[in-house]
Structure formats: C-alpha cells, structure tokens
Amino acid sequence: MAVVTMRELLESGVHFGHQTRRWNPKMKRFIFTERNGIYIIDLLQSLSYIDRAYEFVKETVAHGGTVMFVGTKKQAQQAIAEQAARVGMPYVNQRWLGGMLTNFSTVHKRLQRLKELEQIDFDDVAASGLTKKELLVLSREKAKLEKTLGGIRDMQKVPSAVWIVDTKKEHIAVGEARKLNIPVVAILDTNCDPDEVDYKIPGNDDAIRSVTLLTRVIADAVAEGLIARSGAAEAKGGEKPAGEPLPEWERELLQGAEAKAEEKPADEQQPAAATAEAPAPAAAEAPAPAEAPAPAAAEAPAEQS
C-alpha cells in the first residue's frame, strides 16, 4: 500500500510551487509545468521521493535512532509540535538557537537548568525560601526556556536525522546538520537548493495542509520504526537495541503487551496439565478387575477337596 496517494497530495496543494520569478534553477528537474506565473511541481516524482524518505526514516528509528522535527514558520508550528509529540521525538517550532546541534553540550546545560526550575513551586512563596521578586524572575526564565527548548527537553544527544520544513528559512539548522553529517530530510519548494538535502521531497512548504500532510507521513514512518524496534527487542529476549531509550508511552505499551503475552501461555498450560493427568488414574485402575478372578480360582479347588 502506498504511503500517500496522488489524490491526497493534490487535495493538500503539494503541487503548488513559488512564482516563476522566485525559483532556484537547480529545481528545474522537479517542475512539471508553469500556470499563471506559478510553477507546478511534478507529483509523480514527489511520490517516489516520499517513499524513499519514508523507508530511510523508518530504518533509522528501527535501529535506535531519533529524528528531530524542525519548522519555525507559522504554517508549520502546530503540525511539527503535534506530530513530533505523537511519536515521542524532539522538535523545534519556535526559534532555532544557533549551535543547537554543533554546540549541544552548552544546550544540554540549559536543559538541565530548565529541569531545575521545574522543581520549584512558584505558588508556595514561604517554602521556596525566595522573595516574590526572585520567584518572578525565575518563572520568567523558566517560561523563556520552555518556549525555546521545551521540544527538545528530553534529548540526550544530537539526533540521527532531521526533518525540516522550509530549508531557506531554516538554513542555520541545515548548515549545522550538514557540518555534523546528519542526514537532512526536507520539503523542497521551487525556491530551495536540492544539493543541501539528503532525502528530498519536492512539494509546497508554504501551505498549512501540505506541511501537515508531509509531516504526518514522516511521523508515521517514525511510528513504524518504533514498532519494528520493539519487535526486534522482543525477538532478542527483551533486550533493547543500542540507541536512545524508548519514550515513556512506548515503554508502557510494550510492557502491557509483554504482560498479556505471559498470561496467555499460563492459561494454555492448565488445560494441558489436566488432560495429561486424567488418563493416569484410569491406567492405574485398569488391572484391578483382572486380579479379582485370581483369588476366586485359587479358592475353588480348596472347597472341592
């Protein structure tokens, strides 16, 4: 079954590019035609590239990797946050901080600071041992950190791949990923440079429906990879493949499935044990009737004599 259909792409407006005066000549091979001063993207190529990106993301996650979702433009913010949270992956949908990948050690310290601030009860002034003004300053610091770093709060290391909406707007993120040799999966509009992207998806990166559809497809690939990762762990006797720890929601789901799997064999063993024990008494009692005539035969001659 196809990951996404041509009809879904058309209904979401994935085929609409930029105006003909705003384009990158390197995108010429992905353009189907031009209508009313707007380039139309070849969706047949988009379908094949979507399948390729889908397989890459699925395999990356299945082998223990993570995918960071990046999209700070208004059209992408909601879709990025919702889909990344759905599959337990880190995301950036407000502002990309310079060095978020190339200087992750410093970013990690800010994440630790955020977790420290989350331990403070800002409503209980007396117990905190701080003045109201100090608590106000700390609460503002916490709000600022949550806004910029909330999406990557639980990220322990740089991701295995990044999903980017609008490579021109997120050029800093693209540059950092390429510097660290992190594969880039991205939507390529007609004004983008395809040479910057490893797994490209020609499409519209300005329409909300288009961005939502393509981001959902990538999130579905992540979900399928997580399922494959869980299956591999069960096949190895519950050992988890090397990589980042499973998200809490996935760990609970996996534990529930294992509990059900353990209860089922126990129920099957009880009827089997009952059927195995049932023939034993019958076999032991069977010779009893054969022994009864023996004493009678021995006593009969005694009476005749």
> Domains of the chain: which residue ranges?
1-99+158-259, 102-157
* Mean of pLDDT over the chain: 81
Strands (E), the chain: 16-19, 31-35, 38-41, 67-70, 91-92, 161-164, 184-188, 199-202
Query: pTM for this structure?
Result: 0.72
| Matching fold, domains 1-99+158-259 and 102-157 | no
268-278 pLDDT per residue, tens = 555 444 444 44
pLDDT given for residue 231 in this prediction: 82
Is the pLDDT at 131 greater than 90, yes or no?
no
Q: How many other β-carbons are positioned within 10 Å of the β-carbon of residue 248? A: 10
pLDDT score of 258: 64
Which pLDDT does position 256 carry in this prediction?
Answer: 65
pLDDT over threshold 90, residue 54:
yes
pLDDT above 80 for 146: yes
Q: What is the CATH T-level fold of the domain 102-157, as seen in this structure?
A: Helix Hairpins (1.10.287)
What is residue 265's predicted lDDT score, i.e. its pLDDT?
Answer: 53
In which order are the strands placed within the sheet that holds 91-92? 91-92, 67-70, 161-164, 184-188, 199-202
CATH hierarchy code of domain 1-99+158-259: 3.40.50.10490
Q: Report the C-alpha gap between 254 and 59 in whole angstroms.
A: 19
Q: Give the pLDDT confidence score for residue 287 in this predicted structure.
A: 46
What pLDDT does residue 135 have?
A: 87
The pLDDT confidence band at residue 253, using thresholds 50, 70 and 90, is low
In the predicted model, what is the mean pLDDT of residues 31-37?
A: 90
SS3 103: coil
